[in-house]
Amino acid sequence: MFTVAERVRVRESLVEAARADPLVTAAALTGSAARDAEDAWSDIDLALRIDGAADPMEVAAAWTARMYADHDAVHHLDVWAGATLFRVFLLRSSLQVDIAFWADGDFGAKGPSWRLLFGTAGPPVDPRPADPESLVGTGWLYALHARASIARGRVIQAAYMLDGVRDQVVSLACARLDLPFVQARGADDLPAELRAAVADTMPRSIERPELERAFAVVARLLLDEAAHVDELLAERLAEPAGSSQGSNDGPRPTLRLTRGDLLAAYWRRGGSGGRW
């Protein structure tokens, strides 16, 4: 396990290298360090602005060689956001180092976690908001597969699909309450009652009755959040959610909600005064 002192040393070395690199025209800290919110588990997030005349991939290759040679990297992963490459390194100490290689014209804050170290940056851009209807759609898609997996006796797959439904529920709730919704980063700051409801969606075993119980709870929560997004959408989803049509060769987990259930959920969560 890396130490805080090691993390500081690695970050200072990378910032010094950025200042000395003629192909890097600006750099910024992002993530928890930019907010003075680091703890013992925090990683390093560094954003680099690449000179407009340089090839960002060649610059990334040079920095990658440096990470392996100088900082004992053992592997890396590429994540793209538009034209920006986020290269995520795992060091032997288990420290994670994220280096973002930004094209010259794109470099700038995309949220509050940003501290410019040197050079200049473009004007801040608000981060992309949540798309609640898409989250609802992904939720019901996972729910259908969870139901089918339970009915087929595919219990490990069913647990996986239930996790997918829960992920969408948590994202919807976080976005609705102005908490970070990506990767459930605001989940532990949800109201206690809602945290308890989310916890109740976690199956305590992979026995079929327990999977069916968890399915019913998470599907109800999904419809509850859908009612916040669009009451009519939630109403349209109620019938498919409660449907048991299809093969009758065996019992099927079902969820039956009435229009009254949905309206109660809608108004319990604040009715049309929600933040969507």
What stretches of 113-258 show up as alpha helix (H) in DSSP? 132-152, 155-176, 192-199, 208-229, 231-242
Mean pLDDT, rounded, of the chain:
89
pLDDT, position 241: 66
Same structural domain, 64 and 194: no
16 assigned to some structural domain: yes
Number of domains in the chain: 2
- Give residue 266's domain range: 132-273
Which helix H or strand E contains 11, and what residues bound it?
helix 4-20
pLDDT at 163 over 80: yes
pLDDT at 108 over 80: yes
Same structural domain, 61 and 18: yes
Same structural domain, 110 and 150: no
Of 118, 143, 158, the domain-final residue: 118
Q: How far apart are CA 222 and CA 204, in angstroms?
A: 20
DSSP annotation string for 174-196: HHHTTS--GGGTTGGGS-HHHHH
Q: What is the pTM of this model?
A: 0.81
127 assigned to some structural domain: no
Same structural domain, 140 and 269: yes
Bridge partners (DSSP) of residue 30 are 114
The CATH number covering residue 234 comes to 1.20.120.330
Same structural domain, 170 and 265: yes
| Minimum mean pLDDT range among 65-74, 118-127, 160-169 | 118-127
Same structural domain, 22 and 93: yes
Of 118, 142, 173, the domain-final residue: 118
125 assigned to some structural domain: no
201 assigned to some structural domain: yes
61 assigned to some structural domain: yes
DSSP annotation string for 113-126: -EEEEES--BPP-P
Question: Is the Cβ–Cβ distance between 114 and 136 less than 8 Å?
Answer: no
107 assigned to some structural domain: yes
pLDDT at 259 over 50: no
pLDDT, tens digit (0-9, with 9 covering 90-100), for 136-159: 999 999 999 999 999 999 999 999
Which helix H or strand E contains 61, and what residues bound it?
helix 56-71
The CATH number covering residue 16 comes to 3.30.460.10
pLDDT, tens digit (0-9, with 9 covering 90-100), for 174-210: 999 999 999 999 999 999 999 999 999 999 999 999 9
Residue 145's CB is within 10 A of a number of other CB atoms, namely: 18
Between the alpha carbon of residue 28 and those of residues 34, 52, 119, the distances in Å are 8, 17, 9
